[in-house]
Structure 1
Amino acid sequence: MARKWQLFLNKQITPSPVKYPFKEPFISKPEDNDLTKQWVVEYGIYSEREQKIKRKRVVLKGDTVADRLKDGREVVGLIKQKLKAGACVDPQAKAPEVLVRDQADQVGGHTMIRQAIDLYLAYKQKTTSVNSWRTYRSSLRLFKQYLLDTPGLKNVTLANFHHGDALHFLDQVILKYGLTNRGHNNAKDNVGMFYRHWLKRINRPGKLAIVNPFDDIQDKTTHTNKHTAFTDEQRETFKEICRKENETNLLLFVQFMFYTFFRPRQELRLIRVGDIKADTIYVNAEEAKDNEGAYIEIPPPLQALIEQYKLRTYPPHFYVFTHQGVPGSEPVGPDYFYQHHVRILAKLGWKGKYDMYSWKHTGVIALWSTTQNIRLIQQHCRHSTAAQTEDYLRDLGIIVRHTQIQDFPEF
């Protein structure tokens, strides 16, 4: 039997010279050992294509409880062996290691920008967080597209792209590619950083020197939207219309956001049943905003909702939020709840005044009003410092006054 599982896993898992992060495999089965329900071994393995840990499952189909447990233990052991040795899924073709290891000797002023971008991103992929790397990649992909779209620039070198070219690129970021002023500023910063990376490595004796064509380009004006929260009356109105419109899935999603302060697309949308512990909810490192896993406490009203919807009774690998309105194997898409939310806001005449994040702000204000505890707000928001929390509260119109100083006793 071990041979059978070995062959199966060889097709599912690719050996890798890099020891990527992973999640330990475990057997997920019904509490009552019901053989009519699904038994699986679940594990987390790194996807080179998606640059994150993906959850994978191996279905166990033995005829008896003993058979399934035996198979499960064998599969867990084999997967552990592979993951610890170095493994991945969705393998991607690698750039020659020498290009990453000794870039300074591979790149000069004569190097095509498109080639230098590939090498830069390969380097950044090894030295920065996944979220930062994705940000750099987004701006530099746009830059490469501009070079391909612009006559005479397809094969332009680092030394032959000038200040005027940089200005034209940034104009097209807005006029042709449809980005906002903020997108313009992000592109300027990220492509400018790309040039600074090479400038430091290239400008030395025997090399064709380059300058940074993105230096001395001013940022476009941007307007920071002040955070807008819902009132207590609006909360009640929203709940009523969600129930009337049969949007109970949206309502539960919004209530989770109100109580947890999770980001809707990247964190809340992707939580699984197994992330909901007895008294806490876990945000894993792949989805968390700072690339670090964290637990937040479950407030009593959210605990009541979890019990009302019997969320903990579903298999731990199931996503909480699906198109079916009950936990399942596939999460909703990134824009699913946004679209439903906009529809409800439009019915209420609130469209354009509020967005999905307004529910997080509403929850923060509610918790602050009840507790006046900045440390609690900091922990629940997962802020690294109290100063960050005070700045956030200030944007919500809350000034933190340390009134306890009035209670200082006499000497």
Structure 2
Amino acid sequence: MTPFYGDANTYKTKEERLSVLVTYRKVLLKLLKQGYSPYEDNTDLYHRLNPKEKPLETQSIKQEDTKTARKAKETPSMVLREAFDFGLKLKEKLINSNTKKNYENKIKLFLQWLADSHPDIKTIQALDKKILTEFLNHVLENTSPRNRNNYRTDLSSIMQVLEDNDIIGQNFIKKIPVLKSIPKRNKTYTDDQQEEIFSYLDEKDPLLLLFIKFISYNFLRPKEVCRLTVGDINLREQIVVFKAKNKPLKTKRIPSILLDDLPDISQIDKDLFLFTPSKIGGTWDAHEDSRREYFTNRFKRVIKDPFGLDENYGLYSFRHTFITNLYRTQVEESSPFEAKSELMQITGHSSMAALEKYLRDIDAELPSDYSNKFKKRK
């Protein structure tokens, strides 16, 4: 049966909600022992057994439990493609173009899988938890737990819009658990590796080197560097304004070590992309995902293959490397808390907790030599 929570969510504190839920539990257990069935009309039974108590709206419990079935029955059938288009149209007002594209791709693959595996499923009302679970298992078998969880999140988001608009009775995906996944992390470069790569690029590919320096010295993500336009660089105030991962716009200081390497961009059209395949400041008719993939492939061709670097190293590794080096330098001159407080302003992490988690993930925090701890006790 669908869980019954009544109006517990209207109470503010955990204690109040537990108190209400415990009351519901006692009443429901009492009713069940006295012969109450959620599948039948028990109003007369309850009033006959409890004439002095305040009437309990047993029918509201029954109706709550059967709400999904009733909605599905009363809602006119809508074909799958039409339903997902409807949900996406409402959702697109709240998401950016990249997220919309991800939704579209996942919906397309889901509908293709349905057409191949369950050709009899034509309407959105015919979907159930079993079919959705089967699809997510298909994604898991062919990709990874993380990708499977991403499909679950995006499809659930659209399905929730359909539930909210009474197109379906219930968003079944919410009841499918999230799988534990181990995130992939790029390794950091050693000092020798980093210096050798920079020297090599200085001669072989200066444009790619400058791209990497925005990741290394300004701690931007590769996709954020691809988004930069000439107008995002404010040379007079020495700042860069860009679209970040979780915020519409973010401002960062450009350190002089990076400014000194920038060519003169004062006369370049501010609307042009800062980085293109052939020069600084130009047009590039490609989606930002394609632009990011271009530099990823270029790095592989110019650096990873010649240097024999495996899949654990990439453009993102430079961000890990320079944050690690900066933190270790700062912690030599101050306390860990002071070092993190200053580092948080530089990296742009939203909270100390987020920065500390990041530093743990990349193994930036290492203890000093603890050999003396192993000395034998007398």
What TM-score do the two structures reach when normalised by structure 1? 0.61
Gaps of 5+ in 1: 1-103, 204-208, 402-411
- Answer with 229-238 or 141-150: which moved more: 141-150
Alignment of 1:8-407 (within 5 A): 108=75, 110-153=77-120, 155-158=122-125, 160-174=126-140, 178-202=142-166, 210-244=169-203, 246-265=204-223, 267-277=224-234, 278-284=236-242, 287-306=243-262, 309-330=263-284, 333-343=291-301, 344-372=303-331, 373-399=339-365
For the 8 Å contact 1:314–1:327, the answer to whether it is kept is yes
* 1:147-169 deviation line (CA, Å, top 9, x unaligned): 344452462332x2223322332
SS in 1 for 2:292: coil
For residues 199 and 367 of structure 1, what CA distance do their matches in structure 2 show?
49
SS in 1 for 2:222: coil
Alignment partners' CA distance in 2, 1:313 and 1:366: 35
Are the counterparts in 1 of residues 215 and 318 from structure 2 also a CA contact under 8 Å? yes
- For residues 154-211 of structure 1, what are the alpha-carbon distances to aligned partners after superposition, in whole Å with 9 as ceiling and x for unaligned? 62332x2223322332233355xx54322212112332343344345539xxxxx734
Letter in 1 for 2:112: Q
Structure 2 residue ranges without an equivalent (≥5): 1-70, 332-338, 368-378
Greater percentage in helix: 2
Cα distance in 2 for residues equivalent to 1:133 and 1:386: 31
More strand per residue: 1
Amino acid at match of 2:158: F
Q: Secondary structure at the match of 2:298?
A: helix
Check conservation: 2:185, 2:312, Cα contact below 8 A. no
Identity of matched residues, %: 25
* CA separation of 1:192 and 1:331: change in aligned 2, threshold 3 A: closer
Inter-CA distance 376–220: structure 2 relative to 1 (3 Å threshold)? same
Q: Secondary structure at the match of 1:255?
A: helix
User: 2:240 touches 2:252 (CA, 8 Å); kept in 1?
Assistant: yes
Give the 3 Å change call, closer, same or farther, for CA 216–292 of structure 1 in structure 2: closer
Larger Rg: 2
- Partner of 1:295, secondary structure, is strand
| Shift in Å, 1:400 | 9.7
Report the number of matched residues. 283
State the distance in 1 between where 2:169 and 2:275 align.
51
Q: Equivalents in 1 of 2:171, 2:227: separation in Å?
A: 41
Deviation at 1:109, TM superposition (A): 6.3
The question of whether the paired residues in 1 share the 8 Å contact of 2:146 and 2:183 is answered with no
Q: Take 1:400 and 1:129, find their aligned partners in 2: how far apart are those partners? A: 39
| Paired residues of 1:227 and 1:395 also in contact (CA < 8 A) | no
* TM-score (normalizing by structure 2): 0.66
Asked if the contact 1:323/1:331 (under 8 Å) is kept, the reply is no
Residue 320 of structure 1 aligns to a residue in which SS?
strand
> Structure 1: which amino acid aligns with 2:147?
G
- Give the CA RMSD over aligned residues: 3.0
